[in-house]
Structure 1
Amino acid sequence: MDQQKREPADHWRGLDLGSRTVTYDERDAILYALAVGAHPVKDLDLVFERDLRVLPTFALTLAQWAPDVLADRGAFGDTPALHGAQRLTIHRPLPPSGEVTCSATVADVWDKGGAAVFDVAVDSAYFHAVWSIFAPGRGGFGGGRGPGRPPSPEGEPTHRAEYETFPAQAALYRLAGDRHLIHIDPAAAAAIGQPRPILHGLCTLAGTVLRVAEALGTHPADLTELYGRFAAPVLPGEALDIAAWLGEGGVGFEVARQGEPVLSGGRARFGRT
Protein backbone atom coordinates (compact mmCIF):
# COMPACT_ATOMS: atom_id res chain seq x y z
CA MET A 1 0.00 0.00 0.00
CA ASP A 2 2.84 2.43 0.75
CA GLN A 3 4.13 2.01 -2.80
CA GLN A 4 0.63 2.64 -4.15
CA LYS A 5 0.38 5.86 -2.18
CA ARG A 6 3.58 7.15 -3.80
CA GLU A 7 2.24 6.55 -7.31
CA PRO A 8 0.85 9.61 -9.15
CA ALA A 9 -2.90 9.85 -8.74
CA ASP A 10 -3.50 9.17 -12.43
CA HIS A 11 -1.95 5.73 -11.89
CA TRP A 12 -5.43 4.72 -10.69
CA ARG A 13 -7.26 5.77 -13.85
CA GLY A 14 -9.07 2.84 -15.45
CA LEU A 15 -8.67 0.57 -12.42
CA ASP A 16 -11.26 -2.20 -12.24
CA LEU A 17 -12.75 -2.16 -8.74
CA GLY A 18 -14.61 -5.40 -9.24
CA SER A 19 -18.29 -6.26 -9.01
CA ARG A 20 -20.73 -7.17 -6.29
CA THR A 21 -24.25 -8.47 -6.09
CA VAL A 22 -26.26 -6.70 -3.41
CA THR A 23 -29.54 -8.06 -2.08
CA TYR A 24 -32.23 -5.90 -0.48
CA ASP A 25 -35.87 -6.20 0.53
CA GLU A 26 -38.89 -3.96 1.12
CA ARG A 27 -37.75 -3.15 4.65
CA ASP A 28 -34.47 -1.73 3.37
CA ALA A 29 -36.21 0.46 0.79
CA ILE A 30 -38.73 1.73 3.35
CA LEU A 31 -36.09 2.43 5.99
CA TYR A 32 -34.12 4.39 3.40
CA ALA A 33 -37.16 6.46 2.41
CA LEU A 34 -37.86 7.35 6.05
CA ALA A 35 -34.19 8.24 6.60
CA VAL A 36 -34.14 10.76 3.77
CA GLY A 37 -37.35 12.39 4.96
CA ALA A 38 -40.29 10.67 3.28
CA HIS A 39 -43.59 11.58 4.95
CA PRO A 40 -45.63 8.62 6.29
CA VAL A 41 -48.88 10.12 4.95
CA LYS A 42 -48.05 12.21 1.89
CA ASP A 43 -45.48 9.67 0.67
CA LEU A 44 -47.36 6.51 1.57
CA ASP A 45 -46.22 4.55 -1.48
CA LEU A 46 -42.60 5.12 -0.43
CA VAL A 47 -43.03 3.80 3.12
CA PHE A 48 -45.78 1.14 2.87
CA GLU A 49 -45.10 -2.22 1.25
CA ARG A 50 -48.46 -2.19 -0.54
CA ASP A 51 -47.80 -0.66 -3.98
CA LEU A 52 -44.29 0.27 -2.82
CA ARG A 53 -42.19 2.46 -5.11
CA VAL A 54 -38.44 2.56 -4.45
CA LEU A 55 -36.74 5.94 -4.43
CA PRO A 56 -34.22 6.00 -7.30
CA THR A 57 -31.55 7.47 -5.00
CA PHE A 58 -31.71 4.24 -2.99
CA ALA A 59 -29.52 2.85 -5.78
CA LEU A 60 -26.60 4.82 -4.36
CA THR A 61 -26.70 2.79 -1.14
CA LEU A 62 -26.32 -0.39 -3.20
CA ALA A 63 -23.11 0.93 -4.77
CA GLN A 64 -21.47 2.70 -1.80
CA TRP A 65 -18.92 -0.10 -1.60
CA ALA A 66 -17.15 1.12 -4.76
CA PRO A 67 -15.53 4.36 -3.50
CA ASP A 68 -14.81 2.58 -0.22
CA VAL A 69 -12.81 -0.09 -2.09
CA LEU A 70 -10.69 2.62 -3.71
CA ALA A 71 -10.11 4.28 -0.34
CA ASP A 72 -9.09 0.98 1.24
CA ARG A 73 -6.50 0.48 -1.51
CA GLY A 74 -4.80 3.74 -0.56
CA ALA A 75 -5.61 5.84 -3.62
CA PHE A 76 -6.46 8.94 -1.60
CA GLY A 77 -3.30 8.95 0.53
CA ASP A 78 -3.26 9.76 4.23
CA THR A 79 -5.41 12.93 4.14
CA PRO A 80 -9.16 12.36 4.46
CA ALA A 81 -10.90 12.61 1.11
CA LEU A 82 -14.17 14.46 0.55
CA HIS A 83 -17.24 13.55 -1.45
CA GLY A 84 -17.24 16.38 -3.97
CA ALA A 85 -20.14 15.58 -6.30
CA GLN A 86 -22.59 12.86 -7.26
CA ARG A 87 -24.17 11.86 -10.54
CA LEU A 88 -26.97 9.33 -11.05
CA THR A 89 -28.76 8.14 -14.19
CA ILE A 90 -31.66 5.71 -13.87
CA HIS A 91 -32.11 3.10 -16.60
CA ARG A 92 -35.19 1.45 -15.10
CA PRO A 93 -36.96 1.47 -11.70
CA LEU A 94 -35.68 -0.68 -8.89
CA PRO A 95 -38.16 -3.38 -7.81
CA PRO A 96 -39.40 -3.36 -4.19
CA SER A 97 -37.01 -6.20 -3.41
CA GLY A 98 -34.39 -8.20 -5.23
CA GLU A 99 -30.70 -8.20 -6.05
CA VAL A 100 -28.55 -5.87 -8.12
CA THR A 101 -25.16 -6.69 -9.60
CA CYS A 102 -22.88 -3.66 -9.89
CA SER A 103 -19.47 -3.27 -11.50
CA ALA A 104 -17.14 -0.38 -10.71
CA THR A 105 -14.13 1.33 -12.25
CA VAL A 106 -12.08 4.48 -11.74
CA ALA A 107 -13.45 6.30 -14.78
CA ASP A 108 -11.05 9.25 -14.57
CA VAL A 109 -8.66 11.19 -12.34
CA TRP A 110 -8.49 14.97 -12.60
CA ASP A 111 -5.64 17.23 -11.54
CA LYS A 112 -6.84 20.23 -9.51
CA GLY A 113 -3.36 21.37 -8.54
CA GLY A 114 -3.36 20.88 -4.80
CA ALA A 115 -5.76 17.97 -5.02
CA ALA A 116 -6.99 15.22 -7.32
CA VAL A 117 -10.57 14.29 -8.12
CA PHE A 118 -11.27 10.59 -8.62
CA ASP A 119 -14.40 9.73 -10.61
CA VAL A 120 -15.62 6.31 -9.47
CA ALA A 121 -18.22 4.94 -11.89
CA VAL A 122 -20.66 2.16 -11.01
CA ASP A 123 -22.85 0.43 -13.57
CA SER A 124 -25.78 -1.95 -13.28
CA ALA A 125 -28.82 -2.88 -15.31
CA TYR A 126 -30.78 -0.34 -13.26
CA PHE A 127 -28.50 2.69 -13.00
CA HIS A 128 -25.21 4.43 -13.75
CA ALA A 129 -23.63 6.42 -10.91
CA VAL A 130 -20.45 8.45 -10.52
CA TRP A 131 -18.85 9.47 -7.23
CA SER A 132 -16.43 12.40 -7.58
CA ILE A 133 -13.99 12.16 -4.67
CA PHE A 134 -11.82 15.17 -3.83
CA ALA A 135 -8.44 14.03 -2.46
CA PRO A 136 -6.27 16.83 -1.00
CA GLY A 137 -2.55 16.56 -1.63
CA ARG A 138 -2.90 14.18 -4.57
CA GLY A 139 -2.80 16.72 -7.41
CA GLY A 140 0.10 18.22 -9.30
CA PHE A 141 0.72 15.24 -11.59
CA GLY A 142 0.23 17.20 -14.81
CA GLY A 143 -3.18 15.85 -15.77
CA GLY A 144 -6.25 17.62 -17.11
CA ARG A 145 -8.33 19.69 -14.75
CA GLY A 146 -11.57 18.11 -15.84
CA PRO A 147 -14.97 19.74 -16.25
CA GLY A 148 -15.54 23.06 -14.53
CA ARG A 149 -18.39 23.96 -12.24
CA PRO A 150 -21.78 24.15 -13.94
CA PRO A 151 -23.05 27.71 -14.47
CA SER A 152 -25.34 29.14 -11.82
CA PRO A 153 -29.01 29.41 -12.81
CA GLU A 154 -30.11 32.81 -14.06
CA GLY A 155 -33.16 34.78 -13.01
CA GLU A 156 -35.53 34.26 -10.13
CA PRO A 157 -36.29 30.68 -9.06
CA THR A 158 -39.49 29.22 -10.42
CA HIS A 159 -39.99 27.24 -7.22
CA ARG A 160 -38.86 27.42 -3.60
CA ALA A 161 -39.07 24.83 -0.84
CA GLU A 162 -37.92 24.21 2.71
CA TYR A 163 -36.08 21.09 3.83
CA GLU A 164 -36.23 20.46 7.57
CA THR A 165 -33.61 17.88 8.50
CA PHE A 166 -34.15 16.13 11.84
CA PRO A 167 -31.79 15.38 14.75
CA ALA A 168 -31.75 11.58 14.37
CA GLN A 169 -31.38 11.67 10.58
CA ALA A 170 -27.68 10.79 10.29
CA ALA A 171 -28.04 7.99 12.84
CA LEU A 172 -30.96 6.59 10.86
CA TYR A 173 -29.45 7.04 7.39
CA ARG A 174 -26.25 5.21 8.31
CA LEU A 175 -28.31 2.04 8.67
CA ALA A 176 -28.67 2.15 4.87
CA GLY A 177 -25.01 1.23 4.61
CA ASP A 178 -22.75 4.29 4.99
CA ARG A 179 -21.34 3.83 8.48
CA HIS A 180 -18.43 6.27 8.31
CA LEU A 181 -17.70 7.50 11.82
CA ILE A 182 -18.10 11.22 11.09
CA HIS A 183 -21.86 10.63 10.90
CA ILE A 184 -22.25 9.08 14.36
CA ASP A 185 -19.11 9.51 16.49
CA PRO A 186 -18.64 12.97 18.10
CA ALA A 187 -14.87 12.43 18.36
CA ALA A 188 -14.58 11.62 14.64
CA ALA A 189 -16.66 14.68 13.78
CA ALA A 190 -14.49 16.89 15.99
CA ALA A 191 -11.38 15.58 14.21
CA ILE A 192 -12.65 17.14 10.96
CA GLY A 193 -13.60 20.41 12.67
CA GLN A 194 -17.33 19.80 13.13
CA PRO A 195 -19.18 20.46 16.40
CA ARG A 196 -21.08 17.16 16.14
CA PRO A 197 -21.66 14.33 13.64
CA ILE A 198 -22.67 15.57 10.19
CA LEU A 199 -25.41 14.45 7.84
CA HIS A 200 -24.40 12.30 4.88
CA GLY A 201 -24.17 14.33 1.70
CA LEU A 202 -26.18 11.71 -0.17
CA CYS A 203 -28.91 11.98 2.46
CA THR A 204 -29.07 15.75 1.97
CA LEU A 205 -29.20 15.23 -1.80
CA ALA A 206 -31.95 12.59 -1.63
CA GLY A 207 -34.02 14.68 0.77
CA THR A 208 -33.69 17.59 -1.62
CA VAL A 209 -35.07 15.41 -4.42
CA LEU A 210 -38.18 14.76 -2.30
CA ARG A 211 -38.76 18.47 -1.70
CA VAL A 212 -38.07 19.50 -5.31
CA ALA A 213 -40.45 16.82 -6.62
CA GLU A 214 -43.14 17.99 -4.23
CA ALA A 215 -42.66 21.61 -5.33
CA LEU A 216 -42.95 20.58 -8.99
CA GLY A 217 -46.03 18.43 -8.38
CA THR A 218 -44.31 15.28 -9.59
CA HIS A 219 -43.40 11.98 -7.94
CA PRO A 220 -39.84 11.57 -6.59
CA ALA A 221 -39.78 7.95 -7.80
CA ASP A 222 -40.01 9.32 -11.37
CA LEU A 223 -36.47 10.70 -11.07
CA THR A 224 -34.35 9.74 -14.09
CA GLU A 225 -31.27 11.98 -13.78
CA LEU A 226 -29.57 13.70 -10.85
CA TYR A 227 -26.42 15.71 -10.21
CA GLY A 228 -25.23 17.77 -7.26
CA ARG A 229 -22.04 19.24 -5.81
CA PHE A 230 -21.48 19.17 -2.04
CA ALA A 231 -20.49 22.66 -0.94
CA ALA A 232 -20.66 22.43 2.88
CA PRO A 233 -21.61 19.90 5.56
CA VAL A 234 -25.07 19.87 7.11
CA LEU A 235 -25.76 19.15 10.77
CA PRO A 236 -28.84 17.01 11.50
CA GLY A 237 -31.69 19.24 12.63
CA GLU A 238 -30.75 22.22 10.48
CA ALA A 239 -33.28 23.89 8.20
CA LEU A 240 -32.34 24.28 4.55
CA ASP A 241 -33.73 26.49 1.80
CA ILE A 242 -34.14 25.14 -1.73
CA ALA A 243 -34.33 27.32 -4.84
CA ALA A 244 -35.27 25.59 -8.10
CA TRP A 245 -35.35 26.70 -11.74
CA LEU A 246 -37.59 24.63 -14.03
CA GLY A 247 -36.55 24.63 -17.68
CA GLU A 248 -36.68 22.55 -20.84
CA GLY A 249 -33.74 20.38 -19.74
CA GLY A 250 -35.18 19.53 -16.34
CA VAL A 251 -34.81 21.46 -13.10
CA GLY A 252 -31.75 23.16 -11.64
CA PHE A 253 -31.52 23.65 -7.90
CA GLU A 254 -29.40 25.17 -5.15
CA VAL A 255 -29.63 24.39 -1.42
CA ALA A 256 -28.50 26.81 1.28
CA ARG A 257 -28.42 27.16 5.05
CA GLN A 258 -29.00 30.76 6.11
CA GLY A 259 -27.60 31.92 2.78
CA GLU A 260 -24.56 29.59 2.83
CA PRO A 261 -24.59 27.05 -0.04
CA VAL A 262 -24.56 23.39 1.00
CA LEU A 263 -25.51 21.88 -2.40
CA SER A 264 -24.69 23.69 -5.62
CA GLY A 265 -25.04 23.11 -9.34
CA GLY A 266 -27.91 20.71 -8.75
CA ARG A 267 -29.78 19.27 -11.71
CA ALA A 268 -32.60 16.76 -11.87
CA ARG A 269 -35.02 15.31 -14.37
CA PHE A 270 -38.29 13.59 -13.50
CA GLY A 271 -39.82 11.55 -16.26
CA ARG A 272 -40.38 14.06 -19.05
CA THR A 273 -39.80 17.24 -17.04
Structure 2
Amino acid sequence: MNEWKGRPLGTRTVSYDETRPILYALAVGAHATDLDLVFEERLRVLPTFALTLAQWAPDALGSAGAFDVRTAVHGTQRLRVLRDLPRSGAVEMSAHVSDVWDKGRAAVFDVTVTSDYFEATWSLFAPGGGGFGGDRGPSARPRPSTAPDISLPVRTNPDQAALYRLLGDRHHMHIDPSAAEAAGMPRPFMHGLCTLAAVILPLAAEVGAHPADLKDLEARFASPVFPGDELAVEGWKTDDATTFEASVNGKPVLTAAQARFT
Protein backbone atom coordinates (compact mmCIF):
# COMPACT_ATOMS: atom_id res chain seq x y z
CA MET A 1 0.00 0.00 0.00
CA ASN A 2 2.91 2.36 0.62
CA GLU A 3 3.48 2.60 -3.12
CA TRP A 4 0.30 4.67 -3.39
CA LYS A 5 1.54 7.45 -1.11
CA GLY A 6 2.43 10.51 -3.16
CA ARG A 7 0.78 9.11 -6.29
CA PRO A 8 -0.48 11.95 -8.53
CA LEU A 9 -4.11 11.65 -9.60
CA GLY A 10 -4.02 14.26 -12.31
CA THR A 11 -5.45 17.71 -12.83
CA ARG A 12 -8.85 18.95 -13.87
CA THR A 13 -10.55 22.23 -14.63
CA VAL A 14 -14.26 22.44 -13.84
CA SER A 15 -16.39 25.26 -15.22
CA TYR A 16 -19.81 26.31 -13.95
CA ASP A 17 -22.31 29.17 -14.09
CA GLU A 18 -24.44 30.60 -11.26
CA THR A 19 -27.00 27.82 -11.61
CA ARG A 20 -24.79 25.17 -10.05
CA PRO A 21 -23.92 26.86 -6.72
CA ILE A 22 -27.59 27.88 -6.40
CA LEU A 23 -28.70 24.28 -6.97
CA TYR A 24 -26.10 23.21 -4.41
CA ALA A 25 -27.39 25.65 -1.80
CA LEU A 26 -30.97 24.39 -2.29
CA ALA A 27 -29.78 20.78 -2.13
CA VAL A 28 -28.12 21.27 1.27
CA GLY A 29 -31.03 23.09 2.86
CA ALA A 30 -31.10 26.75 1.81
CA HIS A 31 -34.51 28.34 1.30
CA ALA A 32 -35.93 30.69 -1.32
CA THR A 33 -35.72 33.47 1.26
CA ASP A 34 -31.93 33.05 1.58
CA LEU A 35 -31.35 35.43 -1.30
CA ASP A 36 -27.57 35.63 -0.91
CA LEU A 37 -27.42 31.86 -1.45
CA VAL A 38 -30.07 31.33 -4.14
CA PHE A 39 -30.37 34.59 -6.12
CA GLU A 40 -27.69 35.28 -8.71
CA GLU A 41 -27.76 39.04 -8.15
CA ARG A 42 -26.64 38.64 -4.52
CA LEU A 43 -25.01 35.23 -4.66
CA ARG A 44 -22.36 34.11 -2.20
CA VAL A 45 -21.07 30.63 -2.99
CA LEU A 46 -21.04 28.20 -0.10
CA PRO A 47 -17.43 27.03 0.49
CA THR A 48 -18.51 23.37 0.72
CA PHE A 49 -19.65 23.64 -2.92
CA ALA A 50 -15.95 23.15 -3.69
CA LEU A 51 -16.26 19.52 -2.64
CA THR A 52 -18.64 18.82 -5.53
CA LEU A 53 -16.09 20.28 -7.96
CA ALA A 54 -13.36 18.01 -6.61
CA GLN A 55 -15.33 14.74 -6.33
CA TRP A 56 -13.47 13.40 -9.37
CA ALA A 57 -10.29 12.91 -7.32
CA PRO A 58 -11.36 10.17 -4.86
CA ASP A 59 -13.22 8.52 -7.73
CA ALA A 60 -9.99 8.54 -9.75
CA LEU A 61 -8.13 6.69 -7.00
CA GLY A 62 -10.79 4.00 -6.88
CA SER A 63 -10.66 3.64 -10.66
CA ALA A 64 -6.87 3.24 -10.45
CA GLY A 65 -7.33 0.07 -8.38
CA ALA A 66 -6.13 1.23 -4.97
CA PHE A 67 -9.11 -0.41 -3.25
CA ASP A 68 -12.37 -2.22 -3.87
CA VAL A 69 -14.85 0.51 -4.77
CA ARG A 70 -17.72 -1.75 -3.70
CA THR A 71 -16.64 -1.81 -0.06
CA ALA A 72 -14.60 1.38 0.51
CA VAL A 73 -16.39 4.17 2.39
CA HIS A 74 -15.84 7.87 2.91
CA GLY A 75 -14.43 8.12 6.43
CA THR A 76 -13.43 11.75 7.02
CA GLN A 77 -13.56 15.03 5.14
CA ARG A 78 -11.41 18.11 5.61
CA LEU A 79 -11.68 21.48 3.87
CA ARG A 80 -9.51 24.58 4.14
CA VAL A 81 -10.77 27.69 2.36
CA LEU A 82 -8.15 29.92 0.75
CA ARG A 83 -10.33 32.32 -1.28
CA ASP A 84 -14.01 32.81 -1.99
CA LEU A 85 -15.23 30.75 -4.92
CA PRO A 86 -16.50 32.85 -7.85
CA ARG A 87 -20.20 32.92 -8.69
CA SER A 88 -19.28 31.43 -12.04
CA GLY A 89 -16.06 30.58 -13.82
CA ALA A 90 -13.48 27.81 -13.97
CA VAL A 91 -11.56 26.18 -11.10
CA GLU A 92 -8.27 24.41 -11.80
CA MET A 93 -7.41 21.57 -9.44
CA SER A 94 -4.70 18.98 -8.94
CA ALA A 95 -4.90 15.87 -6.78
CA HIS A 96 -2.60 13.33 -5.20
CA VAL A 97 -2.55 10.62 -2.54
CA SER A 98 -1.20 12.54 0.44
CA ASP A 99 -1.05 9.62 2.92
CA VAL A 100 -1.87 5.95 3.37
CA TRP A 101 -2.57 4.75 6.92
CA ASP A 102 -2.55 1.19 8.25
CA LYS A 103 -5.56 0.53 10.49
CA GLY A 104 -4.88 -3.20 10.80
CA ARG A 105 -7.97 -4.64 9.11
CA ALA A 106 -8.21 -1.72 6.71
CA ALA A 107 -6.19 0.93 4.94
CA VAL A 108 -7.11 4.60 4.88
CA PHE A 109 -6.18 6.60 1.80
CA ASP A 110 -5.97 10.40 2.08
CA VAL A 111 -6.71 12.08 -1.24
CA THR A 112 -5.86 15.79 -1.29
CA VAL A 113 -7.11 18.23 -3.91
CA THR A 114 -5.51 21.66 -4.17
CA SER A 115 -6.52 24.80 -6.04
CA ASP A 116 -6.21 28.56 -5.69
CA TYR A 117 -9.49 28.54 -3.77
CA PHE A 118 -9.31 25.59 -1.39
CA GLU A 119 -7.50 22.50 -0.17
CA ALA A 120 -9.67 19.46 0.48
CA THR A 121 -8.81 15.99 1.76
CA TRP A 122 -10.93 12.85 1.54
CA SER A 123 -10.04 9.98 3.87
CA LEU A 124 -11.24 6.75 2.29
CA PHE A 125 -11.59 3.66 4.50
CA ALA A 126 -10.76 0.50 2.54
CA PRO A 127 -11.55 -2.78 4.36
CA GLY A 128 -9.03 -5.55 3.86
CA GLY A 129 -6.24 -3.22 2.82
CA GLY A 130 -4.41 -2.94 6.14
CA GLY A 131 -1.68 -4.99 7.76
CA PHE A 132 1.16 -3.69 5.60
CA GLY A 133 3.20 -2.32 8.50
CA GLY A 134 2.42 1.34 8.05
CA ASP A 135 1.65 4.10 10.55
CA ARG A 136 -1.88 4.03 12.03
CA GLY A 137 -2.23 7.76 11.57
CA PRO A 138 -3.65 10.44 13.85
CA SER A 139 -6.43 9.76 16.34
CA ALA A 140 -9.84 11.33 15.95
CA ARG A 141 -10.66 14.47 17.91
CA PRO A 142 -12.28 13.39 21.22
CA ARG A 143 -15.75 14.50 22.25
CA PRO A 144 -15.51 17.38 24.75
CA SER A 145 -16.18 16.35 28.33
CA THR A 146 -18.24 19.47 29.13
CA ALA A 147 -21.93 20.00 28.45
CA PRO A 148 -22.59 21.31 24.92
CA ASP A 149 -23.13 25.02 24.33
CA ILE A 150 -25.38 24.31 21.35
CA SER A 151 -28.22 21.86 20.85
CA LEU A 152 -30.32 22.13 17.72
CA PRO A 153 -32.41 19.86 15.50
CA VAL A 154 -31.68 19.64 11.75
CA ARG A 155 -34.40 18.00 9.68
CA THR A 156 -33.32 16.56 6.35
CA ASN A 157 -35.66 16.57 3.36
CA PRO A 158 -37.10 13.31 1.99
CA ASP A 159 -36.03 14.40 -1.51
CA GLN A 160 -32.62 15.74 -0.49
CA ALA A 161 -30.42 12.90 -1.77
CA ALA A 162 -32.21 12.92 -5.14
CA LEU A 163 -31.48 16.64 -5.47
CA TYR A 164 -27.89 16.52 -4.21
CA ARG A 165 -26.85 13.79 -6.65
CA LEU A 166 -27.43 16.24 -9.52
CA LEU A 167 -24.26 17.99 -8.32
CA GLY A 168 -22.11 15.11 -9.59
CA ASP A 169 -22.07 12.19 -7.12
CA ARG A 170 -24.50 9.90 -8.92
CA HIS A 171 -23.74 6.64 -7.14
CA HIS A 172 -26.92 4.59 -7.51
CA MET A 173 -27.16 3.71 -3.82
CA HIS A 174 -28.37 7.26 -3.09
CA ILE A 175 -31.44 6.96 -5.35
CA ASP A 176 -32.10 3.32 -6.34
CA PRO A 177 -33.56 1.06 -3.61
CA SER A 178 -32.08 -2.09 -5.18
CA ALA A 179 -28.60 -0.52 -5.32
CA ALA A 180 -28.92 0.60 -1.70
CA GLU A 181 -29.97 -2.92 -0.69
CA ALA A 182 -26.97 -4.39 -2.53
CA ALA A 183 -24.77 -2.03 -0.48
CA GLY A 184 -26.32 -3.37 2.74
CA MET A 185 -28.69 -0.46 3.32
CA PRO A 186 -32.46 -0.73 3.82
CA ARG A 187 -33.14 2.15 1.43
CA PRO A 188 -31.30 4.96 -0.42
CA PHE A 189 -29.29 7.13 1.95
CA MET A 190 -27.85 10.63 2.07
CA HIS A 191 -24.45 11.56 0.69
CA GLY A 192 -22.19 12.20 3.67
CA LEU A 193 -21.11 15.56 2.24
CA CYS A 194 -24.76 16.59 1.87
CA THR A 195 -25.43 15.72 5.51
CA LEU A 196 -22.38 17.69 6.61
CA ALA A 197 -23.29 20.78 4.59
CA ALA A 198 -26.89 20.58 5.81
CA VAL A 199 -25.59 20.87 9.38
CA ILE A 200 -23.27 23.79 8.57
CA LEU A 201 -26.13 26.11 7.54
CA PRO A 202 -27.99 26.13 10.89
CA LEU A 203 -24.74 25.80 12.85
CA ALA A 204 -23.43 29.00 11.28
CA ALA A 205 -26.64 30.81 12.21
CA GLU A 206 -26.39 29.49 15.77
CA VAL A 207 -22.87 30.90 16.25
CA GLY A 208 -23.72 34.22 14.56
CA ALA A 209 -21.80 33.57 11.33
CA HIS A 210 -22.69 33.47 7.66
CA PRO A 211 -22.25 29.97 6.19
CA ALA A 212 -20.28 31.47 3.28
CA ASP A 213 -17.70 32.67 5.84
CA LEU A 214 -16.61 29.09 6.62
CA LYS A 215 -12.81 28.84 6.63
CA ASP A 216 -12.00 25.37 8.00
CA LEU A 217 -14.08 22.23 8.31
CA GLU A 218 -13.45 18.65 9.38
CA ALA A 219 -15.81 15.78 10.20
CA ARG A 220 -15.90 12.00 10.46
CA PHE A 221 -18.82 10.10 8.93
CA ALA A 222 -19.83 7.57 11.59
CA SER A 223 -23.14 6.21 10.23
CA PRO A 224 -25.46 6.82 7.27
CA VAL A 225 -28.32 9.28 7.36
CA PHE A 226 -31.55 8.64 5.47
CA PRO A 227 -33.52 11.38 3.71
CA GLY A 228 -36.14 12.70 6.12
CA ASP A 229 -34.11 11.89 9.26
CA GLU A 230 -33.87 14.54 11.96
CA LEU A 231 -30.35 15.11 13.27
CA ALA A 232 -29.65 16.19 16.83
CA VAL A 233 -26.64 18.50 16.66
CA GLU A 234 -24.54 19.36 19.70
CA GLY A 235 -21.76 21.94 19.64
CA TRP A 236 -19.02 23.31 21.84
CA LYS A 237 -17.73 26.84 21.22
CA THR A 238 -14.12 27.91 21.62
CA ASP A 239 -12.50 31.24 20.85
CA ASP A 240 -11.92 30.46 17.17
CA ALA A 241 -13.91 27.33 16.27
CA THR A 242 -16.93 25.19 17.05
CA THR A 243 -16.59 21.48 17.73
CA PHE A 244 -19.76 19.55 16.97
CA GLU A 245 -21.37 16.14 16.62
CA ALA A 246 -24.66 14.95 15.15
CA SER A 247 -26.78 11.90 15.89
CA VAL A 248 -30.04 10.33 14.74
CA ASN A 249 -32.13 8.66 17.44
CA GLY A 250 -29.06 8.58 19.67
CA LYS A 251 -26.78 7.01 17.04
CA PRO A 252 -23.77 9.16 16.08
CA VAL A 253 -23.64 10.08 12.40
CA LEU A 254 -21.08 12.91 12.42
CA THR A 255 -18.27 12.85 15.00
CA ALA A 256 -14.91 14.55 15.62
CA ALA A 257 -16.24 17.55 13.70
CA GLN A 258 -15.05 21.14 13.84
CA ALA A 259 -15.89 24.29 11.90
CA ARG A 260 -14.27 27.70 11.93
CA PHE A 261 -15.88 30.85 10.53
CA THR A 262 -14.43 34.32 10.13
- Indicate whether 1:135 and 2:103 are aligned: no
What do the CA deviations read for 1:1-28 (whole angstroms, capped 9, x no partner)?
Answer: xxxxxxxx22211100000000011100
Taking the aligned partners of 1:21 and 1:78, their CA distance within structure 2 comes to 24
- Indicate whether 1:261 and 2:252 are aligned: yes
- Indicate whether 1:218 and 2:209 are aligned: yes
2:115 aligns with one of 105, 117, 124: 124
Taking the aligned partners of 1:25 and 1:12, their CA distance within structure 2 comes to 35
Deviation, 1:212, is: 0.5
Q: Indicate the residue corresponding to 2:221 in structure 1.
A: 230
Q: Indicate the residue corresponding to 2:6 in structure 1.
A: 14
Taking the aligned partners of 2:40 and 2:55, their CA distance within structure 1 comes to 24
On the 8 A contact 1:61/1:176 being kept in 2, the answer is yes
Q: How does 1:1-273 map to 2 (within 5 A)?
A: 9-41=1-33, 43-77=34-68, 79-271=70-262
AA partner of residue 8 (structure 2): D
Taking the aligned partners of 2:181 and 2:225, their CA distance within structure 1 comes to 14
What do the CA deviations read for 1:108-163 (whole angstroms, capped 9, x no partner)?
Answer: 00000000000000000000000000000000000000001111122111112111
Taking the aligned partners of 2:18 and 2:42, their CA distance within structure 1 comes to 11
Taking the aligned partners of 2:154 and 2:17, their CA distance within structure 1 comes to 27
On the 8 A contact 2:62/2:69 being kept in 1, the answer is no
What do the CA deviations read for 1:186-211 (whole angstroms, capped 9, x no partner)?
Answer: 11100122111110000000111101
Structure 2 segments unaligned to the other structure (5+ residues): none
What do the CA deviations read for 1:41-84 (whole angstroms, capped 9, x no partner)?
Answer: 1x221011111000000000000000000001110136520000
Distance 1:33 1:141, change over 3 A: same
- The share of aligned pairs that are identical, in percent, is 59
AA partner of residue 50 (structure 1): E
Distance 1:78 1:248, change over 3 A: closer
AA partner of residue 21 (structure 1): T
Q: Indicate the residue corresponding to 1:5 in structure 2.
A: none
AA partner of residue 176 (structure 1): L
Taking the aligned partners of 2:109 and 2:67, their CA distance within structure 1 comes to 9
Moved more, 210-219 or 117-126: 210-219
On the 8 A contact 2:35/2:42 being kept in 1, the answer is no
AA partner of residue 160 (structure 2): Q
| CA RMSD, Structure 1 to Structure 2 (Å) | 0.9
AA partner of residue 55 (structure 2): Q
Q: How many residues align?
A: 262
Distance 1:191 1:159, change over 3 A: same
For residue 249 of structure 1, give the secondary structure of its aligned residue in structure 2.
coil
Distance 1:78 1:95, change over 3 A: closer
Structure 1 segments unaligned to the other structure (5+ residues): 1-8
Taking the aligned partners of 2:70 and 2:160, their CA distance within structure 1 comes to 27
Distance 1:78 1:174, change over 3 A: closer
